[in-house]
């Protein structure tokens, strides 16, 4: 039992507790039964604290023999703090104790329990009624205590008097002391604090408070040994500029241009930094609160909306379903609430609790000093960060850690990051010095344990073991360079004449003469052993040098260094001469060249790159900028190239497509393939502007230069420049073929098709995903769902539409021969399932409020000024009107004469374009016109500089057809991108890999099937179906991806396969002659996780039979007919 007297001394710091010791009382333990649930009650005499909990509820932890307790700790008058405790699965009697806190401020630690590191979890797309065991739970090693604080968060309830991190610490301290009083067997154990996000404030402050109380109350020490903080928010002064740095430099998805980056850094220096300095110098609440608002408005807010990305995982769009929120519904279940002993309604993130931190200006305040104190006290400290998170990104976190003041700070800062491995596989980069470690985790968003659970558990165990198993930092051995000074003069004299032309050709001659290191290149390519030099065998050297000239041309790229080649002079000598590219004049005086070393960039579109590399790799390259002008035209078009270091170059040139109305602004996409690559400003500063902002000079006036540039010319010109530049840069003009590739999805897929159609002879291999071609029809189709709703005068609740989609998936799942949650045959679904059968089925969706940065997930809350939307509880049954809307969307557009105008989305696809919005004024659902389609109508058809249609008054289905027809005719030769004669591409040996998610909710997958059929009919008009298919398979292959959504996985069909090796496939096809017959796609979740499916080449369709582990590819005429369309609403052919 803990000392009553010293506990009394500790208790004096808490409001509401007596200041003088009462007469000695005895602790009380009792059992109370309420509504069939037995509660354990412990009342601590010394403090008056009361603990009430349920023993072994059977919820979450189901491992036999592992105990759990859940309930409340009273930490003050009407202050009931929720806790959930789980014994260690192994050796609980000796295992350490760790406490987990989520951030916010004001977010529940149940997030960590159910989404990250607790004993159970809900997989994406899994049941909401039954969590599954978490193999990598932190209680595999330690006894785990999850705490909801401050009051009002999660299941905690009562009076919340916490207004800052500093005022939160005493209550957390009291809870831990009271926990020890109730469970004294844990008080001598090693104790660790683990937290994330706003835990960058919580963790250092809570740990320091414990250390301070340990000194003040020697008899009641908490044996704290470890602190771990995941993607923490520590110091605004250090981390605010990292918002811009990360978006510009991150390896997953760079989202801003160089000029945008510079602009935001200037905003930080001129606005944010002065406000933070005032906060730090004055320390007043008003100054710090002002700094919070200034920095949000200048940096964080605007940057969060520069593109559609999830601020907690930049790899995903803003509506990313991961980590899944399924557990929230689970914790609102009456049966679960009763079983665990909860007495309040669960709140994932409490607005009221979080908002109390704002007046104190807690958010921008620095906790770097507290962190330094904790590290200096000898506490083993791990600061780790998932490298796909933006909101508390690893760039800023690493900058913070490098500023920690402790005895080993100088040595820590000097260390470079080394590989961090799990089971022999590199999962991140780290450095350690003394008791401080920093770990960057590859391919992980804000909640690292969710994305990389095995790595997270390993790091947790290593930290709790007080560093006894932490790897030491890496000390790289210096490069050993042979000293060739003794042969320098000889080489120059006897190889000089032979090499001079060669060196000039590759732009290295001057460097060769000036830099001794290039002698290594000469000796390599002349194949001259040192012994020959010593023997002065001049004739032998001359002969070898002569034989080595051609070899030098072929291998100079791998023998030279980046420093050698990345010079303005070398780039200038590599530029195509005026007249080499018809109509283009390059401007040598505009060239810049800068070497970039070990950059975390270069990943292509798919998850796995050639050779199995991932986006976690680093690359060194030459960043080149140059401008050109069109002959006779007073314009200037800057372009950027990323040229890999010579040893990485594999004789490839690569371009990637963009998305929406934006061309790709990143020039580094080819680095992972050993390819030079580029990006273009397209004449309208496409690095900083989307094309839709430049399509009009003003109302009624089209910017045709920008339109053609976006349509196809800018990328074609970029390739025409980039190919000869790359060859000459590396000196491979005559040595080997340069393989040229293009890869893109969505509008990037349209861009890929534009290059095949318009510049086909320039490319060897093209990967085109879900192309947004047939631009007029495609864009106006986004307006169709709203037009259907207006025509029916019915606006369905979004929950009803979700129910229709999910019910359709359930009904059609097994039609392909296997039940796996995936509609692999939407054609069979169309032929065999009637949507009307769903009428009367019930649906329920909880009410929700969302903000621009999103609450939940234990992240930092959005500060004041962010926008929010509200959806009430949706509880009802599917009606005939709901079905009519869904059926109309799936059927596609017809005019009033019943003639088809365009394709609908495949049955079972998400009905996102039909989703309505809640009107608070009328308390009803209202039309929500997708801006993707509305903006096309206003700017491209009506030629009005408006971002969306305000309404659809007077609009009929015929109006939509007219809009399509106008756009098709007006932009036929620029944006439609449907030329079906691909002879120039095919005849020069080009290979086209075309894929489309079968359940794409944005671009109907049948649009791709129709284009394949158009090419077949134009290029092989007299061939039989079998002959045409065989001929096309030699150079153009099309694949439907079952269950796949728009250029990514489908949250409604998460068990479907995803194509991850497309570039490796096209490279094998082009360079090695390995023609694919099927397409590799990998299942990432569900019962078949890890399965690699060999997808069928169109027009064959998959069908499982019996218990087979693979499907057959069958020809099904009835099914193929369901993919075949005639667009008789138009007089012109629609390819």
| Per-residue model confidence (pLDDT) at position 775 | 97
Strand 991-997, strand 675-680: pairing: unpaired
595 with 668, same domain: the answer is yes
Q: What is the pLDDT of residues 596-609, one digit of tens each?
A: 988 876 555 543 34
pLDDT of residue 410: 87
Cα 11–Cα 12–Cα 14 angle in degrees, nearest 5: 75
Per-residue pLDDT at 479 exceeds 50: no
Q: Where is the domain boundary, 672, 707, 737? A: 737
- Res. 515 pLDDT band, cuts 50 70 90: very low
For 531-553, write each residue's pLDDT tens digit: 333 333 334 444 444 444 444 44
Element (DSSP H or E) covering residue 584: strand 584-599
Cα 402 to Cα 238, 243, 367, 371, 372, distances in angstroms: 11, 17, 14, 12, 11
| Most confident option among 401-415, 422-436, 709-723, 735-749 | 709-723
Higher pLDDT, 762 or 289: 762
Give the pLDDT confidence score for residue 1015 in this predicted structure.
Answer: 98
Question: How large is the average pLDDT for residues 746-755?
Answer: 97
Confidence of residue 1075 (pLDDT cuts 50, 70, 90): very high
Quick one: 986 and 1047 in the same domain? yes
Note whether residue 173 is domain-resident.
yes
* pLDDT for residue 517 is more than 70: no
% pLDDT > 70, the chain:
85
Give the mean pLDDT of 121-135: 81
Q: What is the pLDDT of residue 474?
A: 27
Q: Is residue 269 part of a domain?
A: yes
Looking at residue 591, its pLDDT comes to 96
Most trustworthy range by pLDDT among 8-17, 661-670, 1031-1040: 1031-1040
User: Using one digit for the tens of pLDDT, what is the confidence trace for 86-96?
Assistant: 999 999 999 99
Residue 25 has what pLDDT?
Answer: 55
* Same-domain check for residues 166 and 42: yes
Does a structural domain hold residue 865?
no
Residue 316 inside a domain? The answer is no
The predicted model gives 506-512 an average pLDDT of 37
606 plus 532 within the same structural domain: no
Q: State the distance between the two ends of the chain, measured CA to CA, in whole angstroms.
A: 82
Query: What are the pLDDT digits (tens) for 875-884?
Result: 999 999 999 9
Kindly state the average pLDDT of the residues 617-624. 91
Domain annotation covers residue 418: yes
417, 552: one domain: no
The stretch 439-468 carries a mean pLDDT of 91
- Let me know if 499 is exposed, middle or buried by CB neighbors in 10 A (0-12, 13-18, 19+): buried
- Give the predicted TM-score (pTM) of the model: 0.59
pLDDT band at 161 (very low <50, low <70, confident <90, very high): confident
Q: Specify whether 258 is located in the same domain as 230.
A: no
Is 251:325 a contact under the CB 8 Å cutoff? no
Residues 222 and 347 in one domain: yes
Three-class DSSP labels, 609-665: CHHHCCCCCCEEEEEEEEEEEECCCCCCEEEEEEEECHHHCCCEEEEECCECCECCC
- pLDDT above 90 covers what percent of the chain? 65
pLDDT digits (tens, 9 = 90+) for 951-981: 999 999 999 999 999 999 999 999 999 999 9
Same domain for 640 and 510: no
Q: Which two tokens stand for residue 132?
A: 């599954």
- The answer, yes or no, to whether residue 712 has pLDDT greater than 50, is yes
State yes or no: pLDDT of 258 exceeds 90.
Answer: no
User: Could you give the CA distance from residue 801 to residue 889 in angstroms, rounded to a whole number?
Assistant: 11
Interval 17-34 mean pLDDT: 60
Look at residue 26 in the predicted model and tell me its pLDDT.
Answer: 64
What are residue 275's DSSP bridge partners? none
Active site positions, annotated: 746, 1000, 1046
Angle at 39 between CA 103 and CA 140, to 5 degrees: 50
Q: What CA–CA distance (Å, rounded) separates 870 from 863?
A: 17
Q: Is the alpha carbon torsion for 620, 622, 625, 626 positive or negative?
A: negative
Tell me, yes or no, whether 446 and 498 share the same domain.
Answer: no
Q: Is residue 757 in a domain?
A: no
Q: What is the predicted pLDDT for the residue at 467?
A: 53
Q: What is the rounded average pLDDT for all residues in the chain? A: 85
In this structure, the chain runs to a length of 1135
Average pLDDT over residues 397-410: 94
Compute the average pLDDT of residues 27-52: 82
On whether both 445 and 520 belong to a single domain, the answer is no
> Which region among 11-20, 304-313, 499-508, 944-953 has the lowest average model confidence (pLDDT)?
11-20
User: Residue 503: is its pLDDT beyond 60?
Assistant: no
Same domain, 709 and 675: yes
> Is the model more confident about 716 or about 291?
716
Asked whether residue 765 is assigned to any structural domain, the reply reads no
Distance set, CA 549 to CA 509, 530, 734 (Å): 14, 19, 12
Q: Is residue 910 assigned to a domain?
A: yes
Q: How many domains does the chain have?
A: 5
What would the pLDDT profile of 1004-1059 be if each residue is shown by its tens digit? Answer: 999 999 999 999 999 999 999 999 999 999 999 999 999 999 998 888 999 999 99
**How high is the pLDDT of residue 819?**
93
Q: Which two tokens stand for residue 798?
A: 């979004």
Give the domain range for residue 509.
Answer: 485-560
What pLDDT shows up at residue 239? 96
Residues 127, 272, single domain; the answer is: no
Predicted pLDDT of residue 834: 98
pLDDT of residue 869: 62
Final residue before a domain boundary, out of 513, 530, 560: 560
């Amino acid at each position: 039992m803990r000392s009553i007297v010293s506990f009394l001394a500790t208790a004096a710091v808490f409001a509401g507790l007596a200041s003088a010791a009462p007469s000695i009382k005895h602790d009380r333990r009792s059992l109370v039964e309420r509504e069939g649930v037995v509660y354990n009650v412990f009342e601590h005499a010394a403090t008056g604290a009361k603990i009430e909990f349920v023993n072994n509820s059977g919820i979450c932890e189901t491992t036999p023999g592992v105990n759990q307790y859940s309930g409340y700790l009273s930490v003050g008058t009407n202050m009931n703090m929720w806790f959930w405790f789980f014994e260690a699965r192994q050796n609980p009697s000796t295992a350490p104790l760790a406490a987990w806190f989520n951030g916010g401020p004001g977010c529940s630690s149940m997030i960590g329990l159910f989404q990250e590191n607790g004993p159970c979890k809900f997989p994406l797309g899994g049941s909401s009624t039954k969590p599954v065991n978490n193999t990598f739970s932190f209680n595999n090693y330690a006894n785990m205590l999850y705490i909801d604080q401050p009051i009002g968060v999660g299941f905690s309830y009562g009076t919340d008097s916490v207004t800052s991190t500093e005022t939160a610490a005493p209550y957390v301290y009291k809870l831990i002391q009271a926990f020890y009083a109730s469970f004294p067997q844990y008080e001598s154990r090693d104790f660790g604090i683990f937290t994330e996000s706003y835990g960058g404030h919580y963790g250092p402050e809570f740990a320091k408070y414990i250390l301070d109380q340990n000194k003040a109350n020697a008899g009641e020490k908490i044996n704290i040994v470890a602190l771990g903080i995941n993607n923490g928010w520590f110091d605004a002064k250090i981390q605010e500029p990292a918002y811009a740095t990360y978006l510009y430099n991150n390896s997953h998805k760079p989202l801003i241009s160089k000029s945008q980056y510079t602009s935001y850094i200037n905003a930080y220096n001129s606005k944010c930094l002065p406000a933070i300095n005032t906060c730090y110098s004055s320390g007043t609440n008003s100054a710090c609160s002002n700094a919070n608002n200034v920095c949000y408005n200048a940096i964080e807010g605007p940057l969060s909306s520069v593109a559609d990305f999830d601020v907690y995982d930049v790899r995903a769009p803003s509506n990313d379903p991961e980590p899944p929120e399924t557990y929230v519904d689970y914790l609102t279940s009456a049966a679960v609430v009763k079983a665990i002993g909860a007495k309040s309604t669960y709140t994932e993130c409490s607005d009221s609790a979080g908002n109390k931190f704002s007046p104190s200006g807690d958010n921008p305040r620095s906790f770097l000093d507290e962190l330094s104190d904790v590290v200096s006290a000898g506490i083993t400290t791990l600061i780790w960060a998932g490298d796909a998170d933006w909101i508390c990104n690893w760039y800023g976190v690493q900058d913070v850690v490098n500023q920690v003041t402790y005895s080993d700070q100088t040595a820590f800062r000097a260390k470079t990051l080394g590989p961090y491995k799990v089971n022999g596989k590199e999962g991140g980069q780290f450095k350690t010095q003394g008791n401080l470690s920093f770990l960057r985790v590859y391919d992980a968003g804000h909640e690292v344990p969710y994305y990389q659970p095995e790595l997270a558990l390993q790091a947790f165990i290593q930290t709790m073991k007080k560093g006894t198993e932490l790897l030491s930092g890496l000390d790289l051995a210096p490069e050993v360079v042979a000293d060739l000074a003794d042969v320098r003069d000889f080489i120059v004299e006897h190889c000089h004449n032979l090499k001079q032309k060669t060196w000039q050709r590759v732009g290295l001659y001057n460097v060769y003469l000036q830099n001794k290191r290039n002698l290594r290149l000469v000796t390599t390519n002349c194949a001259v052993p040192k012994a020959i030099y010593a023997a002065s065998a001049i004739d032998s050297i001359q002969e070898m040098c002569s034989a080595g000239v051609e070899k030098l041309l072929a291998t100079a790229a791998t023998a030279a260094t980046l420093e050698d080649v990345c010079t303005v002079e070398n780039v200038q000598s590599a530029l195509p001469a005026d007249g080499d590219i018809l109509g283009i004049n390059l401007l040598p005086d505009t060239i810049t060249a800068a070497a970039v070393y070990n950059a975390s960039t270069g990943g292509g579109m798919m998850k796995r790159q050639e050779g199995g590399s991932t986006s976690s790799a680093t690359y060194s390259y030459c960043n080149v900028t140059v401008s050109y002008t069109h002959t006779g035209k007073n314009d200037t078009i800057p372009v950027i190239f990323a040229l890999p270091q010579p040893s990485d170059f594999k004789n490839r040139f690569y371009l990637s497509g963009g998305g929406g109305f934006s061309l790709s602004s990143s020039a580094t996409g080819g680095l992972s393939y050993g390819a030079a690559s580029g990006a273009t400003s397209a004449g309208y500063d496409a690095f900083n502007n989307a094309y839709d902002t430049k399509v009009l000079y003003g109302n009624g006036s089209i910017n045709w230069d920008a339109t053609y540039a976006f349509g196809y010319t800018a990328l074609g010109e970029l390739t025409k420049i980039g190919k000869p530049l790359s060859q000459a840069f590396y000196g491979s003009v005559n040595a080997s073929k340069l393989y040229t590739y293009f890869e893109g999805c969505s509008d990037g897929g349209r861009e890929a098709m534009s290059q095949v159609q318009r510049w086909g002879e320039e490319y060897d291999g093209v990967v085109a995903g879900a192309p947004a071609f047939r631009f007029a029809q495609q864009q106006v189709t986004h307006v169709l769902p709203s037009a259907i709703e207006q025509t029916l005068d019915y606006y369905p609740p979004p929950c009803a539409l979700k129910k229709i989609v999910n019910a359709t998936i359930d009904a059609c799942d097994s039609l392909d021969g296997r039940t796996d949650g995936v509609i692999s045959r939407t054609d069979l679904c169309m032929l065999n399932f009637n949507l009307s059968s769903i009428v009367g089925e019930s649906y329920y969706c909880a009410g929700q409020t969302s903000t621009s940065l999103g609450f939940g997930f234990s992240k930092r809350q959005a500060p004041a000024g962010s926008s929010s939307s509200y959806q009430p509880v949706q509880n009802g049954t599917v009606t005939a009107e709901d079905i009519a809307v869904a059926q109309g969307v799936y059927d596609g557009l017809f005019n009033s004469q019943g003639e088809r105008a365009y394709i609908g989305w495949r049955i079972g696809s998400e009905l996102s374009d039909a989703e309505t919005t809640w009107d608070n004024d009328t308390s009803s659902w209202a039309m929500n016109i997708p801006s993707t389609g509305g903006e096309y109508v206003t700017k491209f058809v009506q030629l009005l500089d408006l971002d969306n249609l305000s309404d659809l008054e007077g609009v009929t289905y015929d109006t939509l057809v007219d809009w399509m027809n106008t756009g098709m005719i007006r932009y036929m030769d620029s944006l439609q991108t449907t030329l079906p004669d691909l002879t120039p591409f095919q005849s020069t040996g080009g290979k086209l890999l075309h894929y489309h998610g079968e359940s794409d909710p944005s671009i109907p997958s049948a649009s791709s099937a129709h284009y394949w059929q158009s090419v077949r009919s134009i290029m092989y008009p007299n061939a039989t179906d079998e002959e045409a298919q065989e001929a096309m398979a030699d150079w153009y292959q099309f694949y439907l991806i079952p269950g796949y959504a728009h250029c990514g996985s489908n949250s409604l069909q998460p068990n479907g396969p995803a194509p991850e090796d497309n570039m490796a496939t096209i490279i094998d096809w082009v360079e090695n002659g390995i023609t694919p017959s099927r397409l590799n796609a990998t299942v990432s979740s569900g019962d078949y996780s890890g399965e690699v499916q060999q997808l069928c080449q169109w027009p064959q369709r998959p069908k499982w039979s019996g218990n087979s582990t693979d499907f057959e590819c069958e020809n099904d005429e009835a099914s193929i007919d369901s993919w075949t369309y005639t667009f008789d609403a138009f007089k012109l052919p629609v390819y």
